[in-house]
Structure 1
Amino acid sequence: MSQWDESYDLVIIGSGGGSMCAALKAKELGKRALIIEKLDKVGGSTGYSGGVWWLPNNPVMKRHGVEDSYERARQYFDSVVTYEGPSTSVKRRDAFLHMSPLIVDFLERKGMAFEYADGWSDYYDDRPGGEPRGRSLVAKLFDIRELGEWEGRLSRYRGAPIPANSNEFPTLFLLKRTWAGKRKAMQLGWRMLKQKLRGQTVLGGGAAIQGRMLQIALREQLPIWTDSPVEELIVEQGRVVGVTVRQGDRVRRIQAHDAVLINTGGFSHNAEMRKRYQPQPASADWTNANPGDTGEVIEAAMRLGAATDCMDEAWWVVTSLGPGLTFPEGARTPAGEPLPFMHHLDLSLPYSIMVDQDGQRFCNEAGSYMEIGQRMYKRQAETGKAVPSWVVMDSRQREFYPWGTAMPGKVPQQWLDSGYMIKAETLEELSKKCGIDTRGLLTTVQRFNGFCASGKDEDFARGGKAFDRSHGDPTIQPNPNLGAIEKGPFYAVRMYPGDVGTAGGLVTDEYARVLREDGQPISGLYATGNATAGVSGRMYPGAGTSIAASFIFGYIAAAHSAGQDKIW
């Protein structure tokens, strides 16, 4: 028998949202759980994220008068998630949808403060069962100074700290266009002044979720180790019974009486794994994923015979780069580290299109960010001319809306000097400077401008869904997402398939047990989050699907490993 340095019932590798949720459930069931984080920051991918849960049929949306049901949510889920693989099995779908309202009840009992992201529509709200007002929740803004000595140990977005949640940014982007945008900007300014006067650090997004989860975990006295990479899954008699953990120069053996739960994120920062599994070209430099997404624990499980699926997928969010894959001004953290721009909201707004090097559009620029990345890679596979693609802008795009870190009406001189943003007086000149096929671009723009006049995008239905329109400019008619490309000067930037995490990994069942290729569970091993192949397969039904799944299957893993028979 092994000699152990410490023993727990549930050992959780990684500290994302699903980890703390699992540890809380384990404690509620009378079990002892340990959270082990290899980095010096707690919160994992959830902390770095936009901070949203997609939880169908949840009680918070119902309090706002939005009716939902398991049956309606299932109708929508099945209409969107058409991929048939082990991760999207009927039983896993059932588990996710039945647990969605239950996880909200559980977290509220523990002290989580939710807000309904009213108007953040399902991404395919035009499908059967789609909800135009949305099924997404965010955490109320949180002052991370309430964490005391743990404040500096919280994982959070590495850009400028902003006291706003993700669902507020579409309105903020319209500060030069609508009274609602101006009011939201004034509200944000007041928040920033107030927190300065009060000595607070108020944050939204993933920091609000994980700040609150960490506060709850500390209140519950859950043990959390940082700077403690797991080096090995320990197996005895065919069962995972513990892990080895490195802490400085010392390696410790930690027993898991009931189970080990993997919640380590994906492999966005592992260049070798990206080359082996992901579509090409790809680069770890294009990702905004958790710095801990390096994949070694996924590989450790694979060495035990774990099956994988969807390893070629990611939660794609396109980014823009300069010549030679250089980062433009603004695309760095306050400490000077690369921080790629993420383009979703700005792509949704009028007066711009995205084209390949032949000058052809290939997607709905206002649609799901994951689908935009998939379509970019599909076009690349077909023609070899989509990575990079180009966003072509009318002058009104730069006059009216933000782009990257530039405010409306601003074009940083460094962007022009470096060649990150290319400027020309005519589309013909722009196409030549960018190397875009001139005839193709002019033909595409002429056709697109016709759609802008009619209000109907006959090629990709841009602006045809409530989701698209929720990120558009309502002052533009007849379609808030369509604005003609006709007023110079014109601008263009190179676009690449960035991501916020990989979306494939270990295959798990409805109880979050890691499965072998033959479908049998690896005894004592569970997984959740981006370390797994997602329950939504190759589609993203709504904002926060991956975070919701991490929480749900973390909770299920804790309950099932503790011997609970009926979980939902």
Structure 2
Amino acid sequence: MDETKFDEVADFVIIGSGGGSMAAGLYLKSIGKTPLILEKTDRLGGSTAMSGGVLWVPNNHIIRAKGIKDSHEMARTYMDATVGNDGGPGATPERKEAYLRNGPVMLKWLEDQGMKWLHTEGWSDYYDDRPGGVTRSRSIGAPMLDAREMGPLFDKLRLGPMVMPLPTDKAGIIGLATRTPRGMWEGLKLLWRMRVVARRGKPILSFGGALQGRLLMLADKAGVDMRTEHGVTELIEEDGRIVGVIAEHGGRTLRIGARDGVLINAGGFSRNAEMRKQYGPQPSSVEWTNANPGDTGELIQIAERHGAALDLMDQAWWVPGTVVPEGGPANMHNTDISKPHCIIVNRHGRRILNESGSYMENGQRLYRNDVPAYVILDSRHRKRYAWGYYPPGKTPQSWLDSGMMKKADSIEELARITGIDPAGLNAEIEKFNGYCETGKDLDFNRGGRGYDNCFGDPTVKPNPNLGKIDKPPFYVMEIVPGDVGTSGGVVTDENARVLRADGSVIEGLYATGNSTASVMGRCYPAAGASIGASFIFGWIAAHHAVGGNG
């Protein structure tokens, strides 16, 4: 590579600033290399900063210290039982093995660099009833972080929808603030912290903000070069090898060389309406996504022009949501619909999914049935539990005035004003109410797994996820498959190298995160599976690029 052809040269150019970028940059800096992180937006952190902020890392030292039974063999059995063998070329046995082998090592290494971790007790694997599943959680997050500790770096951090001073491991408990002593206690602590934040003027970060905030501090301290508003518009290829990038910044076009390689970690295409229409199931809308603003897909398209194979382009990390009249992204309801006194039906009035199950699977089921479908609540749900960003008992009048939420004193009237078949809905609710009495959902086994119970109400018996729909007034809203990012993209191997359709390697080009065809295939096996993959394959890419073992 002739370095005189470039405006500047780094050892490893990383496109995007999510979690995988931080893992790669920190490792490379620790061995004396010069990583360069280029973020096209005005904030650092990517989708990781806007996420729930956990990594799914089976068999790690943190859960072993908690006495949780796990092993490499159990984790591999679980991935085989969930992801299976038909997840596409991004979910090969070799990639799954690389994920499981490198995750615990990476987690411990980051801890040794100063990262602080928090075990999210109770965030069960989403299919914990399958072989190898763990109920007590393999997911790891970060403790809350006072934004004042970040200094000026805080102003560069992207913030997501979950900016509240609530520990990641208390996310399930806070939903019971009106129902249980523990929930009430956590609610009181949350209110106290919110008052503290109001006095200080800077938030106490949790979830993805705490995770990326801590990693940004470590990367900044290590001297990792992280630049915002540097949009990559092209990869530079010489003799079949990617040797650099072209980036735009402040009206200038920069040619930046990469001695060891280029890593794409630029997210998916949730914010690109044309790509959603080209690849994804329909109907869809950029208004339904909670993905980060930089999730526009151009790096996937650029890589494809250089020969990259694509797969799983019809998949996303779906989260059932409602579109609010105020505009903005859809309200996400993955935990809300898990509570009792709530069902989701199609236009015929029939239930179509396990409301307490994996949100990705529920998005897939919505597309196999009706989009939109309808979520029905009775008065107890609105009185007892949160809905979207609103606490129990608080329903914005604008929702009712706009017709986004409809209200009726009978199921027949609710069906009539919504266009749902009244006879079908009445029959379904009668059957469902019978399941609530026995505690057994014979249609979808709702409440039959540890994960289902994570966001249920233990005061409701005999099943914490099943509550009758029989107390008026009743409420109904259209519910759509929102998302937190797409999960298809370029195909990569176990070393995170980008592959062509014939399986050959595009030398010098690596990818991770939502820019890739997920190692999880068409399944979301546990909390943090997407963020975990971003970290782990970013880490692997950095090792491979410099000749190390990932």
TM-score, normalised to structure 1's length?
Answer: 0.95
Deviations 1:241-294 (A, max 9, x none): 000111111101000001000000000000000000000001111000011000
Deviations 1:312-338 (A, max 9, x none): 0000001112xxxxx235xx6xxxxx1
Q: Secondary structure at the match of 1:7?
A: strand
> Quick check: 1:472 aligned with 2:469?
no
Counterpart-to-counterpart distance in 2, 1:197 and 1:423: 39
> Quick check: 1:10 aligned with 2:7?
no
Note the C-alpha offset of 1:550.
0.4
Counterpart-to-counterpart distance in 1, 2:148 and 2:546: 34
Residues 396/308 of structure 1: CA separation in 2 closer, same or farther (3 Å cut): same
Any unmatched runs of 5+ in structure 1? 322-326, 333-337, 380-385
Write the mapping of 1:258-297 to structure 2, written as runs, cut at 5 A.
258-297=260-299
Q: Counterpart amino acid of 1:501? A: G
Write the mapping of 1:56-75 to structure 2, written as runs, cut at 5 A.
56-75=58-77
Q: Secondary structure at the match of 2:80?
A: helix
Q: Which residue of 1 aligns with 2:351?
A: 361
Q: Which residue of 2 aligns with 1:382?
A: none
Q: Secondary structure at the match of 1:497?
A: strand
Question: Please, which of 185, 188, 198 is the counterpart of residue 186 of structure 1?
Answer: 188
Counterpart-to-counterpart distance in 2, 1:426 and 1:84: 45
Say if 1:270 and 1:293, in contact at 8 Å, map to a contact too.
yes
Q: Which residue of 2 aligns with 1:226?
A: 228
Write the mapping of 1:89-168 to structure 2, written as runs, cut at 5 A.
89-158=92-161, 161-168=163-170
Q: Counterpart amino acid of 1:350? A: P
Q: Counterpart amino acid of 1:95? A: A
Q: Secondary structure at the match of 1:493?
A: strand
Question: Please, which of 54, 57, 62 is the counterpart of residue 55 of structure 1?
Answer: 57
Counterpart-to-counterpart distance in 2, 1:559 and 1:497: 37
Q: Which residue of 2 aligns with 1:201?
A: 203
Deviations 1:168-191 (A, max 9, x none): 222111111111110010111222
Q: Which residue of 2 aligns with 1:383?
A: none
Q: Counterpart amino acid of 1:376? A: L
Write the mapping of 1:522-561 to structure 2, written as runs, cut at 5 A.
522-561=506-545
Say if 2:144 and 2:210, in contact at 8 Å, map to a contact too.
yes
Write the mapping of 1:381-400 to structure 2, written as runs, cut at 5 A.
386-400=370-384
Q: Which residue of 1 aligns with 2:364?
A: 374
Note the C-alpha offset of 1:405.
2.5
Q: Counterpart amino acid of 2:325? A: P
Counterpart-to-counterpart distance in 2, 1:35 and 1:346: 37
Counterpart-to-counterpart distance in 2, 1:366 and 1:544: 18
Percent identity, aligned pairs only? 52
> Quick check: 1:347 aligned with 2:350?
no
Counterpart-to-counterpart distance in 1, 2:385 and 2:469: 15
Write the mapping of 1:446-457 to structure 2, written as runs, cut at 5 A.
446-457=430-441
Note the C-alpha offset of 1:147.
2.0
Say if 2:262 and 2:510, in contact at 8 Å, map to a contact too.
yes
Q: Which residue of 1 aligns with 2:257?
A: 255
Write the mapping of 1:418-567 to structure 2, written as runs, cut at 5 A.
418-564=402-548, 566-567=549-550
Note the C-alpha offset of 1:200.
4.4
Q: Secondary structure at the match of 2:160?
A: coil
Q: Secondary structure at the match of 1:431?
A: helix
Residues 284/249 of structure 1: CA separation in 2 closer, same or farther (3 Å cut): same
Say if 1:138 and 1:165, in contact at 8 Å, map to a contact too.
no
Q: Secondary structure at the match of 1:317?
A: strand
Q: Counterpart amino acid of 2:345? A: V
Note the C-alpha offset of 1:152.
1.4
Q: Secondary structure at the match of 2:235?
A: strand
Q: Counterpart amino acid of 2:444? A: F
> Quick check: 1:215 aligned with 2:199?
no
Say if 2:116 and 2:143, in contact at 8 Å, map to a contact too.
yes
Following TM superposition, the consecutive aligned residue runs of length 4 or more in structure 1 with deviations greater than 6 angstroms are none
Residues 554/307 of structure 1: CA separation in 2 closer, same or farther (3 Å cut): same
Say if 2:244 and 2:256, in contact at 8 Å, map to a contact too.
yes
Q: Which residue of 2 aligns with 1:170?
A: 172
Q: Secondary structure at the match of 1:23?
A: helix
Q: Counterpart amino acid of 2:454? A: S
Note the C-alpha offset of 1:58.
0.9
Q: Which residue of 2 aligns with 1:239?
A: 241
Q: Counterpart amino acid of 2:154? A: E
Q: Secondary structure at the match of 2:173?
A: helix
Note the C-alpha offset of 1:201.
2.1
Counterpart-to-counterpart distance in 1, 2:368 and 2:177: 35
Q: Counterpart amino acid of 2:136? A: R
Q: Secondary structure at the match of 2:506?
A: strand
Q: Counterpart amino acid of 1:157? A: G
Q: Which residue of 2 aligns with 1:328?
A: 325
Q: Secondary structure at the match of 1:405?
A: coil
Deviates more, 1:271-280 or 1:414-423: 414-423
Counterpart-to-counterpart distance in 1, 2:223 and 2:489: 31
Note the C-alpha offset of 1:199.
5.5
Counterpart-to-counterpart distance in 2, 1:128 and 1:45: 31
Note the C-alpha offset of 1:106.
1.0
Counterpart-to-counterpart distance in 1, 2:97 and 2:502: 22
Deviations 1:39-86 (A, max 9, x none): 000001101111111100011111111121100111111111123411
Counterpart-to-counterpart distance in 2, 1:307 and 1:17: 24
Deviations 1:210-269 (A, max 9, x none): 100100000001101111100110001111000011111110100000100000000000
Counterpart-to-counterpart distance in 2, 1:348 and 1:241: 49
Question: Please, which of 379, 387, 403 is the counterpart of residue 403 of structure 1?
Answer: 387
Q: Counterpart amino acid of 1:417? A: D
Aligned residues: CA RMSD:
1.2
Counterpart-to-counterpart distance in 2, 1:84 and 1:205: 29
Q: Secondary structure at the match of 1:99?
A: helix
Q: Secondary structure at the match of 2:331?
A: coil
Note the C-alpha offset of 1:413.
1.8
Deviations 1:350-373 (A, max 9, x none): 001000111111110000000000
Say if 2:143 and 2:168, in contact at 8 Å, map to a contact too.
no
Note the C-alpha offset of 1:194.
3.6
TM-score, normalised to structure 2's length?
Answer: 0.98
Note the C-alpha offset of 1:415.
1.4
Say if 2:87 and 2:520, in contact at 8 Å, map to a contact too.
no
Counterpart-to-counterpart distance in 1, 2:88 and 2:403: 43
